[in-house]
Amino acid sequence: MARVLTPRAEDFPRWYQDLISKAEMADNGPVRGTMVIRPTGYAIWERMVSDLDARIKATGAENAYFPLFIPESYLKREAEHVEGFSPELAVVTHGGGKKLEEPVVVRPTSETVIGEFMAKWTQSYRDLPLLLNQWANVVRWEMRPRVFLRTSEFLWQEGHTAHADEQDARDYARRILHEVYEDFMVNVLAIPVTVGRKTNRERFAGATSTYTLEAQTGDGKALQMGTSHELGQNFAKAFDISFSAKEGGQQFAWTTSWGVSTRMVGGLIMVHGDDNGLRVPPKLAPIQAYVMVVKDGDGVAEATDRVLAELRAAGVRVQVNDRTDTPFGRRAVDAELKGYPIRIEIGPRDIAEGNVTIARRTDGSKTPVSVDGVTKAVLDALEADQKALYDQAVVAREAKTTDAATLDEAIEVAGSGFARIAWDKVGVDGEAKANQSAVSVRCLVREDGGVPLSQDEPGLIAYLARSY
């Protein structure tokens, strides 16, 4: 396998690109910074979408769709917002062969256009909360693209809500953070995330509070997996999202926004991948069990059909590969690259002994199992390997997380992992100094691991790291 992928320890970025290519997950698009997501990669994204969409709807949000093109004037109405996005904007100046009267921006995010319609749809406190979500593509012109992690066009969900009071907005933004994002990342993606608050310097343009989920990649860098923002009344005032309050009089709404993207696919690769390819957590895997016919022979076809039927009946997502005209070794390498959790090998020699061979991607083990016991063995292995991937990721993260006593030590440690340090030893000036060394404060957390409401709370812990 070393000839297939560059070893992670030798060149982690090259390993990442090799894996995406060899596992047939994506290709670079024809325009610099864009990507073509191939069926293998898109199947993983579809599983993410399906699970997250159900979780989002369980919080009361409804899906809608808003235009890709946004009038430039909309963004300019929220000055801090447009200032934060200016370098990343793609602007259309001509359409239909003519110069447009007003340039339109290709959607970088939809706070402004959704704000326009929230104002139209909100008259009374009875119309609130207004809980919306959309699955869409966005464009942020990227100078240093990396497939799945940073591309000029990417796929995501973006939630936007309006509330009658600040506390309700805050509670909802934090509910999304924990019940939707954190639970999904931990229990489905098997990725441990550090959940905290962004500093004022790092928060989303136009937000009053930004909450984040930070993963640690295999080379010790941070990867922002998702964010949830309190927007205060900033966008409500810019777009006149106001309503008749229950107590009487007009009041501006409190709004939130929150999103995750195809960056999660990159995070999945960088956290769980090894020198043999991707390892997909069983709960997420589009194909949980990959049944491979090693060689045709007496009883092989019958055993294969039985195994497939029993696994499907047990709810296992299963696919068969009976292409015996392709060498078995090549097919097995392809399955390992794509990270299928379980490989079930069926050949004449196995069947003669009443067995099949179960190969587990997580630990690389291969075990003979009786045909009668295949379903139970697969179900047990899927459950065990979901936990094993998470546990391994926790151990790897802790091995590259160091408590630092000083800012200088934290900056040095952040060259190869996470630095954990008291926020009062960093502060605003120390954060600026760290940025000069390409190190950022990824998030702030309370001593008990809770998420603070302000960066001015006493006793906060800062996580510093280099990031993708």
Rounded-to-integer distance, Cα 410 and Cα 463, Å: 9
Rounded-to-integer distance, Cα 24 and Cα 35, Å: 12
The angle formed by the CA atoms of residues 377, 383 and 387, to the nearest 5 degrees, is: 135
- Look at residue 84 in the predicted model and tell me its pLDDT: 79
- Look at residue 385 in the predicted model and tell me its pLDDT: 98
Question: Average model confidence (pLDDT) for the chain?
Answer: 96
Say how many C-beta atoms besides its own lie within 10 A of residue 400's C-beta. Answer: 17
pTM of the model: 0.96
3-state secondary structure 345-407: EECHHHHHCCEEEEEECCCCCEEEEEHHHHHHHHHHHHHHHHHHHHHHHHHHHHHCEEECCCH
Q: Among the residues of 246-292, which ranges form H helices?
A: 263-272
**pLDDT higher than 60, residue 168:** yes
- Look at residue 78 in the predicted model and tell me its pLDDT: 84
The confidence band for 143, taking pLDDT boundaries of 50, 70 and 90, is confident
DSSP assignment of 170-235 equals HHHHHHIIIIIIIHHHHHTS----EEEE--TTTSPTT-SEEEEEEEE-TTS-EEEEEEEEE-TTHH
**Tens digits of residue pLDDT in 430-455:** 999 999 999 999 999 999 999 999 99
Q: What is the mean pLDDT of residues 193-199?
A: 98
Phi, psi of 326 (to 5 degrees): -105, 135
- Look at residue 342 in the predicted model and tell me its pLDDT: 98
- Look at residue 1 in the predicted model and tell me its pLDDT: 43
Rounded-to-integer distance, Cα 27 and Cα 36, Å: 5
Rounded-to-integer distance, Cα 453 and Cα 209, Å: 8
The confidence band for 80, taking pLDDT boundaries of 50, 70 and 90, is confident
**pLDDT higher than 60, residue 16:** yes
**Tens digits of residue pLDDT in 287-312:** 999 999 999 999 999 999 999 999 99
**pLDDT higher than 90, residue 81:** no
The confidence band for 2, taking pLDDT boundaries of 50, 70 and 90, is very low
**Reduced to 3 states, what is the DSSP secondary structure of residue 431?**
helix
**Tens digits of residue pLDDT in 49-64:** 999 999 999 999 999 9
**pLDDT higher than 70, residue 238:** yes
Rounded-to-integer distance, Cα 456 and Cα 454, Å: 5
